[in-house]
Amino acid sequence: MSFIRRRFHKCADKLVEEYTVSTHFDWRLYRQDIAGSIAHARMLSKQKIIPQTDSEAIVEGLETILKEIEQGTLKPRTDLEDIHMNIEARLTELCGAAGEKLHTARSRNDQIALDMRLFVKDAASETVNSMKGLQRALLGMAENNLQVVIPGYTHLQPAQPILLAHHLLAYFEMLERDIDRFQDCLRRADVMPLGSGALAGVTYDIDREFLAKELGFGSVSQNSIDAVSDRDFILDYESAASVCMMHLSRLAEEFTIWSSQEFGFITIDDAYATGSSIMPQKKNPDVAELARGKTGRVYGGLTAMLVTMKALPLSYNRDLQEDKENLFDIVDTILSTVDVFSGMVKTSVINKGSIERALKRGHILATDLADYLVKKGETFRSAHGIVASLVSHVEEKGLSLDELGVDEYRVFSPLFEDDVLSINIESSLEARSATGGTAPSRVRKALARANKLLERQQH
């Protein structure tokens, strides 16, 4: 019988053992758990709570266990309930009674809180690095197609001409905010809970600042009850991941639309597309579509964690065992999505011919005509109405605005003069030169700024 059950008169029911065991998923925390235990053993020795010889034996044993796990020779035992008991049991096998001293001055409550904070810190850092890779891919596509003009859309209807680079930089900005959220998550996870005990602190003369330094934490928790029951840092990561996946889903939607026969703006590389089991002509944007689907999966994980936490009394409750599987899945989902998107963006080809044809549809310079009239002295509302009538007229005639002569323009307003014919895609772009606009000069500055941001982040 496990020492934990010595207070009981019978063994746990087999169904209870299977229901409560967590080794099939918390085994993933072995690196964090061993790192925390090594730091704890060294602290116990430093504070003369256990002999130095025992501490050295424990550290050596833990390093052996780390190698055994990574080499695949040590497998989790489900009869030992969780990662912590598995490692402690193996440690005792390796170094005898010294191994039984490791758990002095700590509880599994502050131990798992530590493991999870270490995991989230690692995950947040890795996510940020992956997202920088996607930002670089977007910048590469933007810089390689700096002269390409596409229709900008509202309501998925042609609206105004914009540079493709300007459009792609919108996603760069979204990812920049995502990176900021993950970095903020990392900052809030950077609080060391070990030393809080089960909930009330410990009775030993421990050195929590030493532990924080050993484990790379910036500070220690200030309330033992909060430390063992807090999972806000997990919610922070999952919330940031949800917003990021929303951004990626929007990009996925556009790649799906742009790669369709109706648009044809891009060709997704064969390595990032799939075929049909029945239709031999098909080339499907499955990577993008899967990302849209996986976005809901990430949202579900966040919602599940919020519901788990919403009514828990202080301090620790076993409900908190449910904090791991969804988090692990979310981390895996966002990392794989960001990485595969980086490859998809890098290898996709822009189809300039299809884009040029699209620019000729939808009377995309109508707003520029209204602005022209305003500069001639018309009020904007009146100018808007005049151009709306113009558009209705050319649609009835089956024409486009650029097919009209000056005399036809003057039928709708005497303010139209010969210079109206100089309104074109290039003039439309150049006119939007305010900060954040799509003018080529502005977009070049935006690209330079984006590259500088990435360079600073690398350092």
- Domain segments of the chain as ranges: 3-104, 109-144+163-357, 359-458
pLDDT at 24: 84
Q: Span 381-393, mean pLDDT?
A: 96
Active-site residue, from 2, 276, 389, 427: 276
Q: Which residue has the higher pLDDT, 406 or 23?
A: 406
- Give the pLDDT confidence score for residue 45 in this predicted structure: 98
Mean of the per-residue pLDDT values of the chain: 94
Provide the pLDDT for residue 1: 44
Q: What are phi and psi of 180, to 5 degrees?
A: -60, -40
| CA distance readout (Å), 349 to 62, 144, 268, 269 | 51, 10, 7, 7
**Closest to 86 measured CA to CA, from 42, 22, 144, 137:** 22
What is the average per-residue pLDDT within 118-122? Answer: 98
* 13: pLDDT strictly greater than 70: no
Over residues 192-213, mean pLDDT: 97
138-156 average pLDDT score: 97
pLDDT tens per residue across span 180-192: 999 999 999 999 9
pLDDT of residue 371: 96
Instruction: Please check the confidence at residue 19 and state whether its pLDDT lies above 70.
Output: no
User: What are the pLDDT digits (tens) for 407-452?
Assistant: 999 999 999 999 999 999 999 999 999 999 999 999 999 999 999 9
CATH 3.40.50.720 given to domain 359-458:
no
Predicted local confidence at residue 211, as pLDDT:
98
Q: Classify the phi-psi angles of 16: left when phi > 0, otherwise alpha if psi is within -120 to 50, otherwise beta.
A: alpha
Confidence of residue 80 (pLDDT cuts 50, 70, 90): confident
The average pLDDT across 73-102 equals: 93
Nearest CA among 63, 44, 48, 51 for reference residue 104: 44
Taking the chain, what is the end-to-end CA distance rounded to the nearest angstrom? 53
User: What average pLDDT does this structure show over 320-344?
Assistant: 96
CA dihedral 225, 2, 32, 339 (to 10 degrees): -110
Least confident range of 6-15, 126-135, 203-212, 300-309: 6-15
In whole angstroms, how far apart are CA 114 and each of 77, 86, 215, 249?
22, 17, 10, 33
Residue pair 428/161 in contact by the 8 Å Cβ criterion: yes
Under DSSP, the state recorded for 312 is P
Look up 166 and say whether it is catalytic.
Answer: no
Q: Give the integer Cα–Cα distance in Å for 412 and 421.
A: 15
Tell me whether domains 3-104 and 109-144+163-357 share a fold. no
The class that CATH gives domain 109-144+163-357 is mainly alpha
Pairing of strands 219-220, 191-192: parallel
pLDDT at 20: 66
Query: Which CATH class name applies to 3-104?
Result: mainly alpha
Q: Is residue 363 annotated as a catalytic residue, yes or no? A: no
Share of the chain above pLDDT 90, in %: 89
The pLDDT, as a whole number, for residue 3 is 58
* pLDDT of the residue at 78: 83
Task: Read off the pLDDT of each residue in 327-342 and give the average, rounded to a whole number.
Answer: 97
Residue in 9, 155, 277, 459 annotated catalytic: 155
